[in-house]
Amino acid sequence: MDKQPRARISSRHENRQFPNGGAPVLKPEDNERLVRVGPGTPAGELFRRYWQPACLSSELPENDGPAIKVRLLCEDLIAYRDTTGAVGLVDAYCPHRLAPMYFGRNEECGLRCAYHGWKFDRDGKCVDMPTEAPDSRLKERVSIKAYPVVERGGVVWTYMGPKEHMPEPPDYEWTRVPHTHCHVSKTYEECNYLQALEGGLDTAHSSFAHNNAIDKKTEMRQIDTAPRLDVETTDYGYYYVSHRNLGDGNFYVRLYHYVMPFQQMRGGIHKFDGKRKDFPVVDGHIWAPIDDGQTHVYNWHHGYDESVKLTPEHIDEAEIFYGRGPDDMIPGTFKLKKNKSNDYGRDFHLMKTKIFTGITGINTQDFALQEGMGPIVDRSKEHLGSTDRAIITMRRLLLEATHDVEAGRTPRGLDPKTHGHMRPHDNFVKAGDDWRAIFEPEIKAKF
């Protein structure tokens, strides 16, 4: 592959400049370039260079068990766990007469179409064609589309791009954590991945959308609602640091990571109920595009180090706090009971007395606002400000990466060595303190 240097994007210093009080908006053609993820589109071809979460490992609990439907990057697929326990991911339709493979029989290391019995292994090879004569060589010429998969961190990952460009499998710290220390869940969001990702990278909105105690003025995100952001690009994407002035020489500093193309990592000083100060966690999200107007959000968190195991009680507490506990979901789905059909359960009494939005659950609050924008946002109508620096930089990085792929260059973040060693962190510092020195022991992977 041509290793031409990529074009430089704006530096951290340039990101600080907002002439006339605002930043440039995204042109309609660039917006289209980023939001369309089907085969052959600029963003679609970019995403296919990275390993994608296809489903949770827990969705395939048994060998030779039921197959599940997977839609990813506008492609309809079928996932199944074969006789050996390995996962296959194949086209949703049989190449014979395009019958749905979802109804196929998962048996003896392959998926057999229920229409005529043609059977395919997890590599896509046709291993049996009972409707043809024994000496027929047709099965040698027929295969079903199949994508390679690996299981890491309780997630089934797949690579959907050109084989010659396939990178090493993902090696984030959270994928190495023992299962006793890590939890991963999944939720469905009815909007384009980009506006969901932007919400995850936006620290300023937590002062408002996630203000769950409007009667209290001492919460750090209410004391300073206009954080100052510095953004530094890296080989994996960027990290940004937000500073909130808490008064009397005290600052709340938050270090985020954006790992291309769709992952956020953040620290866990903010505990789930405000009480577990002795339970430090690291958490984050991946926004995996189902198609142009739908997204699956993979939510992960793990203990700070080997001493912090996640008990079932802790996991339940966390998921309930975020609004995605067992009672919050439509049974048998990853969809919230509180959704746009019922205004996300907005309660006007709560809105007046306690919760800024009147909606309970951090996850639900995000969905109400992000889905409420419509399936795809027209970003040419925005008016951006200084707290949007992280979002602006993310868009530039994604645009840069689409052009890199088109030009035969390698996009950022493909090499696990660029993102496997680091972690986010947030904490309090004093005026004049060097946050880098204070954070240095905390921002290295411990697993």
Q: Tell me the C-alpha distance between 384 and 23, whole Å.
A: 5
What is the distance between the alpha carbons of residues 212 and 356, in angstroms, rounded to a whole number? Answer: 6
The mean per-residue pLDDT over the stretch 115-141 comes to 97
Alpha-carbon distance of 373 to 434, in angstroms, equals 39
Alpha-carbon distance of 48 to 363, in angstroms, equals 27
Q: Does 5 score more than 60 pLDDT?
A: no
Among 445, 438, 143, which residue's Cα sits nearest to residue 282?
A: 445
pLDDT, averaged across the chain: 92
Percent of the chain with pLDDT over 90: 88
Tokens 């972690």: give the residue: 423
Rounded to whole angstroms, how far apart are CA atoms 140 and 78? Answer: 22
- Which pLDDT value is given to residue 17? 47
Separation CA 87–CA 150 (nearest Å)? 8
Mean pLDDT check: name the lowest of 38-52, 210-224, 315-329, 399-413: 210-224
Stretch (H or E) spanning 184: strand 182-189
pLDDT at 368 over 80: yes
**Residue from 93, 104, 24, 95 nearest 393 by CA:** 24
Of 23 and 59, the one with more pLDDT: 59
Instruction: Give me the DSSP letters along 401-416.
Output: HHHHHHTTPPPTT-SG
Determine the average pLDDT of the residues in 95-120: 98
Q: How many whole angstroms separate alpha carbon 24 and alpha carbon 2? A: 31
Q: Return the structure tokens found at 361.
A: 């659950």
Instruction: Classify burial at 170, counting beta carbons within 10 Å of its beta carbon; exposed 0-12, middle 13-18, buried 19 or more.
Output: buried
Query: In this predicted model, what pLDDT tens digit does every residue of 170-216 receive, in sequence order?
Result: 999 999 999 999 999 999 999 999 999 999 999 999 999 999 999 88
Tokens 């599940």 belong to 68
> What's the rounded Cα separation, in Å, for the pair 410 and 108?
39
Helix pair 193-200, 389-406: axis angle to 10 deg: 130
pLDDT, mean of residues 109-117: 98
Q: Answer yes or no: is pLDDT of 19 > 60.
A: no
The band of 392, judged by pLDDT with boundaries at 50, 70 and 90, is very high
Asked if residue 365 lies in contact with residue 351, where contact means CB atoms within 8 angstroms, the answer is no
Is residue 2 pLDDT above 60, yes or no?
no
Residue 53 bridge partners (DSSP): 157
The structure's pTM equals: 0.93
Mean pLDDT to the nearest integer, 405-429 = 95
DSSP labels, 219-276: SHHHH-SS-EEEEEE-SSEEEEEEEEEEETTEEEEEEEEEETTTEEEE---S-SSS--
- Residue 12 has what pLDDT? 40
The structure tokens listed for 63 are 């060998």
pLDDT recorded at residue 217? 75
pLDDT > 90? residue 339: yes
Helices (H) then strands (E): counts for the chain:
12, 18
pLDDT tens digits, residue range 284-293? 999 999 999 9
3-state secondary structure of 427: strand
The predicted pLDDT at position 280 comes to 84
Residue 193 belongs to what H/E stretch? helix 193-200
- Is there a contact between 289 and 37 (Cβ–Cβ < 8 Å)? yes
For the chain, what percent of residues have pLDDT higher than 70? 92
Residue 16 has pLDDT above 60, yes or no: no
pLDDT the model gives residue 269:
60
More confident residue, 271 or 134: 134
Is 214 within 8 Å of 392 (Cβ atoms)? no
At residue 273, the pLDDT reads: 40
Domain 173-439 CATH superfamily: Naphthalene 1,2-dioxygenase Alpha Subunit; Chain A, domain 1 (3.90.380.10)
- pLDDT tier for residue 219 given thresholds of 50, 70 and 90: confident
What's the confidence (pLDDT) of residue 301? 94
User: pLDDT-derived band of residue 22, with 50, 70 and 90 as boundaries?
Assistant: low
Vertex 415: Cα angle to 291 and 70 (nearest 5): 25
Q: Would strands 119-120 and 126-128 be described as parallel, antiparallel, or unpaired?
A: antiparallel
What's the pLDDT at 144? 98
CATH node for 60-149: 2.102.10.10
The two tokens of residue 363 are 């996850």
